[in-house]
Amino acid sequence: MNPTLLAAPRGTTEKTGKVRVLIVDDSVVIRHLLREALESDPGIEVVGSEGNGQAALAAIPLVKPDLVTLDIEMPVLDGLEALKRIRKDHPRLRVVMFSTLTTRGAAATLEALSLGADDYVAKASNAGKLDESLGRLRSELLPKIRQFFTNPGRAGQPALPLLTPTRSFPKSKPRVLVIGVSTGGPNALAKLIPALPSRLPLPVLIVQHMPPTFTRLLAERLDAASPLRVLEAEDGMEVAPGRVIIARGDYHLRVRKMGPQTVCALDQGPHENSCRPAVDVLFRSAAEAYGGAVLSAVLTGMGSDGQRGTETVKAAGGYSIAQDEPSSVVWGMPGAVVEAGLANQVLPLEKIPPEIVRLVENG
- Sequential pLDDT tens for the chain (363 residues): 233 333 333 334 555 689 999 999 999 988 998 999 999 999 999 999 999 999 999 999 999 999 999 999 999 999 999 999 999 999 999 999 998 878 888 999 999 999 999 999 987 555 556 667 677 788 889 999 998 987 543 433 444 554 444 446 678 899 999 999 999 999 999 999 999 999 999 999 999 999 999 999 999 999 999 999 999 999 999 999 999 999 999 999 999 999 889 999 999 999 999 999 999 999 999 999 999 999 999 999 999 999 999 999 999 999 999 999 999 999 999 999 999 999 999 999 999 999 999 999 886
Q: What is the pLDDT of residue 267?
A: 98
Question: Which residues neighbour 156 within 8 Å (Cβ) at sequence distance 6 or greater?
Answer: none
Cα separation, 62 vs 71, whole angstroms: 20
What residue ranges in the chain does DSSP mark as E strands? 19-24, 44-50, 67-71, 94-100, 119-123, 176-181, 204-208, 229-232, 243-246, 252-258, 261-267, 294-298, 319-323, 345-347
- Compute, in degrees rounded to 10, the torsion defined by CA atoms 246, 248, 250, 253: -60
In this predicted structure, what is the pLDDT of residue 170? 76
**Residue pair 303/273 in contact by the 8 Å Cβ criterion:** yes
Confidence (pLDDT) at 99: 85
Helix (H, G, I), strand (E, B) or coil at 204: strand
C-alpha 25/C-alpha 66 separation (Å) is 17
Closest CA to 249 of 199, 221, 210, 304: 210
Task: Tell me if residue 305 is catalytic.
Answer: yes
Q: Which domains does the chain have, with CATH numbers?
A: 13-149 (3.40.50.2300), 176-362 (3.40.50.180)
Which of the following is catalytic: 119, 209, 327, 328? 209
d(CA 89, CA 266): 44
Catalytic residue among 305, 320, 324, 327, which? 305
Residue type, 223: D
CA of 10: how far to CAs of 18, 65, 91, in Å?
11, 10, 12
Burial (0-12, 13-18, 19+ Cβ within 10 Å), 256: middle
What is the per-residue pLDDT for 356? 96
Q: How far apart are CA 65 and CA 328, in angstroms?
A: 22
Is residue 209 annotated as part of the catalytic site, yes or no? yes
The pLDDT of residue 165: 44
- How confident is the model at residue 128, as a pLDDT? 55
Comparing C-alpha atoms, which of 120, 117, 148 is closest to residue 5? 148
Interstrand relation of 67-71 and 19-24 (parallel, antiparallel or unpaired): parallel
Do 188 and 299 meet the contact criterion of CB atoms below 8 Å apart?
yes
Closest-CA residue to 296 (of 180, 168, 173, 171): 180
CA distance 181 to 214: 14
Question: What pLDDT, on a 0 to 100 scale, did the predictor assign at position 4?
Answer: 33
pLDDT at site 155: 36
Task: Output the CA–CA distances (angstroms, integers) from residue 168 to 192, 320, 355, 361, 363, in the order listed.
Answer: 21, 12, 11, 13, 9
**What angle, 0 to 180 degrees and rounded to 10, lies between the N-to-C axes of helices 307-315 and 279-290?**
10
DSSP 8-state secondary structure symbol assigned to residue 27: -
Q: Coil, helix or strand for 12?
A: coil
Identify the pLDDT of residue 7.
33
- Of 114, 119, 79, 77, the residue nearest 96 (C-alpha): 119
Which one of the listed residues 49, 133, 182, 226 is annotated catalytic?
Answer: 182
Helix and strand element counts for the chain (H, E): 12, 14
32 carries an active-site annotation? no
